[in-house]
C-alpha cells in the first residue's frame, strides 16, 4: 500500500484568523490565553483537514516562523532577550519583531532578528544567530505539547523539523567563528530530541534539508555525512526531505545517507526520480512529492498515474506520496472563493484540495483506478477544459510571441546618442531630483478606492477624487521644486494587482492569502491565460498629471518580470513565455504613453532579483530571458524618450552585467541604508548610463538631513560621474505620511542645490 503524508499545512487560517489574533495580541486587544486558544483551534481544524492522510505533520504550526521555532527548540535564543521576561512567547515575539506588544509600558524592545527569504519563495524566515558562545540546549516542550494535542485528536503524527545542516546553513555567524564548528554540539541536541519523540510513541520524523537542492561545497556535503552518521542509531525513523529543486551533484550523497527514507520533489526533480530509485537501498522509503506545493493548479491525474504506476510496481510499500513541499506556499481553501469564474475555479486547487488529490491518487494505486472512476473523470474534464479553453488561448498573443526578435529589445541608438537628444528635450539640471512613483496613501484615498470597488462611489466621483489627489501631488512637487514629477499613484492599491486587473489572462482570488512573514500575507494574482492589453491602462492619469505642469511628468509602470515573479503563474508553458506576453502588454503601454507626449517613463522591476534560481549555474539562463523581456517592454521608444527603471534591492554585484544590459537611461535603486557601500560594485564595473542611488530610507520614519544626503551623493560621485547621477528616495513613498515626506524631500532638494554649486 502507498502511504500518504503531508509536509506542512498553511497555518494562517482560511480567513487569516492567526494574522488577526496575532495583531490583536500585539496591540493588547486580546490576552495570551486567547491567542493560544485561536492557535489551538486552528491546529485542530488543520489536522481535521488532513485526517484522511496516513501521516499528518506536527510542528509545522508557528506563531511567526518555523525557523525561529527551531531556534527556540534548540535553545539558540539571542542573548539580548534572555532575561527580559519569563514569558517565552513574548521573548519569541521580541526576536521576531523587536517587541512583544506595541504599547508595552516600559518598552522592553530589542533588535529584531534579521529576516530573509526562504529559498526561492516569498516566505521570509528569521535568520538564526550564531557565535562562539552559542550553546544549544533542547527545549522541546512546545513541540511535545503539540504532538500530544494531535495524538489526542487521533492523528497519526509525524513531527516536522528543520534539519541540523540546513539550520546551520540558514543562520549567520555574528562573529568570526565558523558555523560548521557548531555542528557536533548541534547534532547532540537533535539526538536528544529524537529520544524524547520516541518516548511519545513517534515512529517517523520528517527532517527538512532543502539545502540539498543548492550548490554545496565539499565541507557542507561532508557535514551531511557526519550528521546523519551520528543520527543513524536514533530510536525514530528519519524521513529526510528535500524540495524546491533538483539534487544534481548532491544526489548520490543524499541517497547514501543512513536515513530511513527520502522525500524528493517530484515536480521540480521529476527527471531525477528514476536515478534516485536506482541508487536507493531497498530498505528505504521513497516519498515522492507529486502534487505541486508551489502553485495553484489541479494535478493532472491521468499523466501522474501513468508515470507513477510503474514506480509503484517497483517500490510497492516503499512508496509514499505527498505534495512536493509544505503547503505553506499556497492558499488554504478554494471552497472560500465565491467570485472566480466557474471554469477557472474548476482548474484550481488550494491546500485543502491538494490533499484531496493526494488521497485520490493513493486510492487509485492502492485499490485500482476503478475505485476512483468518477474523480478521475472529473479531473480529466477539468484538465481538458483548461487545455482548450478560449479563456486561456489567444492566437494573436501566441503569434506575437512566436514572431519575437531580439531587435525589438534594442533602442534606436546607443545611450551616448540618446543622452544628447534627451538632454536638449528635457533640459534638466545637474543632479536632477525625482521620486520613485507613489506618494502617501492617506485613509481618504484608500477609502475612496474601497467605496468605488464596493459600488458605493460612481466612476465619475471616483475619478474626481483621484484627480484631486493627483492635483495635490503635482502641486506639492512643484512647490517643493522637484525636477521630474510623478502623478503619485493614488489609484493603485498594489503595483502588480493594478495592472493585472486591466489585463486579459489574470484572475484574482478573494481569500488566496499566502504567508509572507509573521502576520503578513500576500494574495498573488493568478495568471491563467495568454496576456493581452485591451486598452491603455495608465495614459489618462499620466496625461492629466502632465496637463497640470510644465515640468516633465514620469509615466509609471510595473515591468513584466515583476508582474511574473509576484503572481501564481501558468504551468502549461515556460515562465519565459508568460513573461514575454507580459512584456508585450507593457510595451504597448509604453508606446501609448510616448504617443501621449509623456517623455519620461519608468518601468519598475522591483522583483527582478527575486526570480534568480537557487543554483547559480542557472542564473544566466534566467537573466537572459528576464532582461530580454524587460528590454522588449521598455525599448520600443524613440531616442528622445527617457526610460527609467527602479529596483528595490541593490545587491547587484553578482548581476551588474545583466542590469547594465537592460539599457535603461536611468536606474533608481535602494542604497541609503548601506551608506552607499552597495555602490562598491561600480569600482570595478563601469555602469554606462545614469543612476539614482536612493538617499532617503523610506522604510524608516527618520528624516534625512541635507548634510547626510550631500555626503551620500558625494560618495556616489566618487564612483559615477556627477552628470550621470540623480537624487531620489530609495523607493515609493506610499507607506509614509506627508508630514515625513515633505521635510525629507525639502532636504533632498536643498542637498541637490548644494551639490550643483
Judge whether 126 is annotated as a binding position. Answer: no
Looking at 73, 236, 352, 731, which residue binds ligand GLN (CB under 6 A)?
731
Here's the x/- map for Zn ion, 605-624, by CB under 5 A: it reads as -x------------------
- Sheet strands side by side (includes 642-647): 554-558, 600-604, 642-647, 666-669, 690-693
Judge whether 318 is annotated as a binding position. Answer: no
Number of residues that bind Zn ion (CB under 5 A): 3
| Identity of the residue, 453 or 520, whose beta carbon is nearer to Zn ion in the bound complex | 520
Least distance in angstroms from the C-beta of 648 to Zn ion: 4
Sites for Zn ion among residues 638-657 (CB under 5 A): 648
Contact 160, 243 (CB under 8 A): no
Cell 484531496 belongs to which residue? 356
| Beta-strand relationship, 514-517 and 520-522 | antiparallel
Instruction: Tell me which H or E stretch contains 497.
Output: helix 497-500
Q: Is 437 in the site for ligand GLN (CB under 6 A)?
A: yes
Instruction: Tell me which H or E stretch contains 667.
Output: strand 666-669
Sites for ligand GLN among residues 16-75 (CB under 6 A): none
Sites for ligand GLN among residues 634-653 (CB under 6 A): 646, 648
Q: Is 731 in the site for Zn ion (CB under 5 A)?
A: yes
Strands of 41-133, DSSP E = 56-58, 115-117, 124-126, 129-130
Dist CA 146 CA 202 (whole Å): 13
Instruction: State the Cα torsion 228-233-238-240 to the nearest 10°.
Output: 10
| Identity of the residue, 330 or 495, whose beta carbon is nearer to Zn ion in the bound complex | 495
Judge whether 196 is annotated as a binding position. Answer: no
Least distance in angstroms from the C-beta of 605 to ligand GLN: 9
Q: Is 438 in the site for ligand GLN (CB under 6 A)?
A: yes
Maximum CA extent, the chain: 83
Dist CA 507 CA 527 (whole Å): 6
Number of residues that bind ligand GLN (CB under 6 A): 13
Dist CA 664 CA 504 (whole Å): 27
Of 126, 123, 119, 31, whose CA–CA distance to 81 is shortest? 126
| Identity of the residue, 298 or 646, whose beta carbon is nearer to ligand GLN in the bound complex | 646
Stretch that binds ligand GLN, among 279-287, 349-357, 635-643, 727-735 (CB under 6 A): 727-735
The question of whether 29 is a catalytic residue gets the answer no
Least distance in angstroms from the C-beta of 648 to ligand GLN: 5
245 binds, among ligand GLN, Zn ion, none (CB under 5 to 8 A by kind): none
Dist CA 443 CA 447 (whole Å): 6
Judge whether 240 is annotated as a binding position. Answer: no
Question: What's the burial of 219, exposed, middle or buried (CB within 10 Å: 0-12/13-18/19+)?
Answer: exposed
Least distance in angstroms from the C-beta of 62 to ligand GLN: 27
Q: How far is CA 463 from the centre of its chain?
A: 32
437 binds, among Zn ion, ligand GLN, none (CB under 5 to 8 A by kind): ligand GLN
Least distance in angstroms from the C-beta of 659 to ligand GLN: 15
Distance in angstroms between the alpha carbons of the first and the last residue of the chain? 80
449 binds, among Zn ion, ligand GLN, none (CB under 5 to 8 A by kind): none
Dist CA 440 CA 732 (whole Å): 9
Judge whether 16 is annotated as a binding position. Answer: yes
Stretch that binds ligand GLN, among 5-13, 218-226, 302-310, 726-734 (CB under 6 A): 726-734
| Beta-strand relationship, 554-558 and 600-604 | parallel
Q: Is 556 in the site for ligand GLN (CB under 6 A)?
A: yes
Q: Could you list the residues that contact Zn ion (CB under 5 A)?
A: 606, 648, 731
Which residues are designated catalytic?
Answer: 699
- For the annotated binding site for L-homocysteine, the residues are 436-438, 489, 604
Amino acid at each position: 500500500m502507498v502511504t500518504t503524508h503531508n509536509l506542512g499545512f498553511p497555518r494562517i487560517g482560511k480567513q487569516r484568523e492567526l494574522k488577526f489574533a496575532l495583531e490583536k495580541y500585539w496591540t493588547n486587544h486580546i490576552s495570551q490565553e486567547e491567542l493560544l486558544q485561536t492557535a489551538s483551534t486552528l491546529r485542530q481544524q488543520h489536522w481535521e483537514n488532513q485526517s484522511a492522510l496516513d501521516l499528518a505533520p506536527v510542528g509545522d504550526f508557528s506563531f511567526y516562523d518555523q525557523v525561529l521555532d527551531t531556534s527556540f527548540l534548540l535553545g539558540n535564543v539571542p542573548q539580548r532577550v534572555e532575561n527580559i521576561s519569563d514569558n517565552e512567547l513574548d521573548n519569541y515575539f521580541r526576536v521576531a519583531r523587536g517587541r512583544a506588544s506595541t504599547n508595552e509600558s516600559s518598552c522592553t524592545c530589542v533588535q529584531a532578528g534579521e529576516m530573509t527569504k526562504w529559498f526561492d519563495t516569498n516566505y521570509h524566515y528569521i535568520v538564526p544567530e550564531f557565535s562562539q558562545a552559542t550553546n544549544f540546549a533542547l527545549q522541546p516542550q512546545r513541540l511535545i505539547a503539540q504532538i500530544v494535542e494531535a495524538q489526542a485528536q487521533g492523528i497519526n503524527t509525524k513531527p516536522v523539523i528543520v534539519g541540523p545542516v540546513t539550520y546551520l546553513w540558514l543562520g549567520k555567524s555574528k562573529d568570526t567563528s565558523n558555523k560548521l564548528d557548531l555542528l557536533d554540539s548541534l547534532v547532540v541536541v537533535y539526538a536528544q530530541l529524537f529520544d524524547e519523540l520516541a518516548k511519545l510513541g513517534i515512529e517517523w520524523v520528517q527532517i527538512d534539508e532543502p539545502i540539498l537542492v543548492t550548490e554545496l561545497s565539499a565541507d557542507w556535503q561532508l557535514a551531511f555525512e557526519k550528521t546523519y552518521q551520528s543520527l543513524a542509531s536514533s530510536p525514530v525513523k528519519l524521513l529526510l526531505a528535500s524540495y524546491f529543486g533538483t539534487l544534481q551533484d548532491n544526489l548520490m550523497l543524499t541517497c547514501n545517507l543512513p536515513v530511513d527514507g527520502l522525500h524528493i520533489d517530484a515536480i521540480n526533480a521529476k527527471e531525477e526520480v528514476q536515478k534516485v530509485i536506482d541508487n536507493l537501498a531497498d530498505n528505504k522509503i521513497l516519498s515522492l512529492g507529486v502534487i505541486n506545493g508551489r502553485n495553484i493548479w489541479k494535478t493532472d491525474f491521468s499523466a501522474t498515474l501513468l508515470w507513477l504506476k510503474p514506480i509503484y510496481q517497483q517500490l510497492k510499500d516503499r512508496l509514499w506520496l505527498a505534495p512536493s513541499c509544505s503547503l505553506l506556499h499556497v492558499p488554504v481553501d478554494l471552497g472560500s472563493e465565491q467570485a472566480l469564474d466557474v471554469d477557472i475555479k474548476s482548474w484550481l486547487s488550494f491546500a485543502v484540495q491538494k490533499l484531496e488529490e493526494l488521497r485520490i491518487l493513493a486510492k487509485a494505486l492502492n485499490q485500482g483506478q476503478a475505485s476512483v472512476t468518477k474523480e478521475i473523470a472529473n479531473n480529466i474534464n477539468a484538465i481538458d477544459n483548461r487545455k482548450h479553453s478560449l479563456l486561456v488561448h489567444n492566437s494573436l498573443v501566441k503569434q506575437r510571441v512566436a514572431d519575437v526578435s531580439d531587435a525589438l529589445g534594442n533602442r534606436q541608438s546607443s545611450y551616448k546618442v540618446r543622452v544628447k537628444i534627451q538632454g536638449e528635450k528635457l533640459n534638466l539640471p545637474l543632479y536632477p531630483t525625482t521620486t520613485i512613483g507613489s506618494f502617501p496613501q492617506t485613509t481618504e484615498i484608500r477609502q475612496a478606492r474601497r467605496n468605488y470597488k464596493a459600488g458605493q462611489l460612481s466612476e465619475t466621483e471616483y475619478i474626481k477624487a483621484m484627480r484631486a489627489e493627483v492635483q495635490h501631488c503635482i502641486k506639492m512637487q512643484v512647490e517643493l521644486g522637484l525636477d521630474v514629477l510623478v502623478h503619485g499613484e493614488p489609484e493603485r492599491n498594489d503595483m502588480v494587482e493594478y495592472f493585472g486587473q486591466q489585463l486579459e489572462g489574470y484572475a484574482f482570488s478573494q481569500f488566496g492569502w499566502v504567508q509572507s512573514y509573521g502576520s503578513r500575507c500576500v494574495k498573488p494574482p493568478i495568471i491563467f491565460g495568454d496576456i493581452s492589453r485591451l486598452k491603455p491602462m495608465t495614459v489618462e492619469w499620466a496625461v492629466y498629471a502632465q496637463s497640470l505642469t510644465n515640468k516633465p511628468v514620469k509615466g509609471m509602470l510595473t515591468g513584466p518580470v515583476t508582474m511574473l515573479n509576484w503572481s501564481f503563474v501558468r504551468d502549461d508553458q515556460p515562465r519565459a513565455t508568460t513573461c514575454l506576453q507580459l512584456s508585450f502588454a507593457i510595451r504597448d503601454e509604453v508606446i501609448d504613453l510616448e504617443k501621449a507626449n509623456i517623455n519620461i517613463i519608468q518601468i519598475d522591476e522591483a522583483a527582478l532579483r527575486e526570480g534568480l534560481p537557487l543554483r547559480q549555474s542557472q542564473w544566466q539562463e534566467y537573466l537572459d530571458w528576464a532582461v530580454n523581456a524587460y528590454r522588449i517592454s521598455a525599448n520600443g521608444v524613440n531616442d528622445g524618450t527617457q526610460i527609467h527603471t527602479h529596483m528595490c534591492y541593490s545587491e547587484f554585484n553578482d548581476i551588474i552585467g545583466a542590469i547594465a544590459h537592460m539599457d535603461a537611461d536611468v536606474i533608481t535603486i535602494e542604497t541609503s541604508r548601506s551608506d552607499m557601500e552597495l555602490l562598491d560594485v561600480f569600482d570595478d564595473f563601469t555602469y554606462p548610463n545614469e543612476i539614482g542611488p536612493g538617499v532617503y530610507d523610506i522604510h524608516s520614519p527618520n528624516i534625512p538631513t541635507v548634510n547626510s544626503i550631500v555626503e551620500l551623493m558625494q560618495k556616489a560621485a566618487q564612483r559615477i560621474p556627477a552628470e550621470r547621477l540623480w537624487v531620489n528616495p530609495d523607493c515609493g513613498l506610499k507607506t509614509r505620511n506627508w508630514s515625513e515626506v515633505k521635510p525629507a524631500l525639502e532636504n533632498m532638494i536643498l542637498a541637490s542645490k548644494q551639490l550643483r554649486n
